[in-house]
Structure 1
Amino acid sequence: MAIELRVPRALAALPAPIRWLALPLALTCTVVVLLGSWGSADDQVAAPQPGGKAAGYCRALAAALPRELLGHARKDPSPASPYVAAWDTTPRTVLRCGVDRPEALDGEHAKDWSPTVDDVTWWSQKLTDGGYRFVTTMRAAYVEVTVPAGAAANPFDPAAALTGAVKATIPG
């Protein structure tokens, strides 16, 4: 029993080598388009969902954030959120406003290094990848700045540089 394959007329008029490449080329193009439209996993950041006054403070902070941080352009993740901002460091520095109060503030890490800049205190937590997470304390909304290892010469520099915007928009 022989199987007969029918070639569409549009392809039948083409030389054999081109016909043979048509399907692999179409599949490759489809994969490239799909991968490009999905965005990278690095581009996805969980956006907090603050409520009440905290949401208003976070929107005010979003409007006050700089377009450049320590020489790096702002490159927000998608989908866009007024509660998330990022700068194009390598790896990327991310600010999230309206996060929940870190549970670690009640535990053994409550007394970890917490620098204060211009009356804004940043609780710090060393991450397993060597980076740091800084979270404001004693403010009407919690602001988190994640600085991955290698993103800044001093891991606290990005949080310190954002202190003015935090102080101006989120009351203590």
Structure 2
Amino acid sequence: MNSFRHRLIGLPALALLITTAGCSSADDSASVAVPSPDATVTELCRKLDGALPGKVAGLSREDPEPRSTLTAGWGNPEIILRCGVPRPPKMIDPKVAEGHDPDAVPGGVNGVDWLQEKADDGFRFTTANRKAYVEVAVPGDVDSSAALIELAPAIKSAIPKGIAD
């Protein structure tokens, strides 16, 4: 009988747990993988986080989950910025190292050099020639040139020129 009573008491608790787990918050923020760079790059990324604009390409800043100074977002679908990402494999390609990269944004954008890669739902841009790699994912329906232009001043002020790694 005692065992039966414990099962009865456990059922409402289990039902509450299942109900709570099934509910989602009203927050529609995207979930983003947070990079894990070394301490030097992390400090540069924190500096960048403080310099980022409140709006990019006309979209308001809405940071993704989990909250981190290494990630930022604007709009929905979001423009996602991740600072301190590893060097993209494409940047290791000898043709890229020799300056013959067909995916480089010619001349950079407002003083920031970028590698451009096609993604499933738009484009992914990664800074080049900076002490930290900054990746910006831009959905296909967002003006990527406006996003890069508006992010350039913050990147230039926070991430010095040089070679990461």
TM-score by length of 2: 0.75
Distance in 2 of aligned mates of 1:70 and 1:54: 26
RMSD: 2.7
Aligned residue pairs total 143
Unaligned runs of 5+ in 2: 1-11
Q: Work out the CA distance in 1 between the residues paired with 2:104 and 2:136.
A: 15
1:67-106 alignment runs, 5 A limit: 67-89=54-76, 91-106=77-92
Which 4+ residue blocks in structure 1 deviate beyond 4 angstroms? 29-32, 37-42
Unaligned runs of 5+ in 1: 1-22
Task: Please point out which of 125, 130, 146 is paired with 2:137.
Answer: 146
Residue 39 (structure 2) pairs with residue 66 (structure 1): no
Identity value in percent: 36
Of structures 1 and 2, the larger Rg is shown by 1
Q: Corresponding residue for 2:152?
A: 163
Higher relative contact order (CA 8 A, sep 6+): 2
List per-residue Cα deviations over 1:99-121 (Å, max 9, x = no partner): 00001122388301324123210
Alignment TM-score, normalising by the size of structure 1: 0.72
Q: Provide the rounded CA distance (Å) in 1 between the counterparts of 2:78 and 2:19.
A: 24
Cα distance in 2 between the residues matched to 1:32 and 1:163: 45
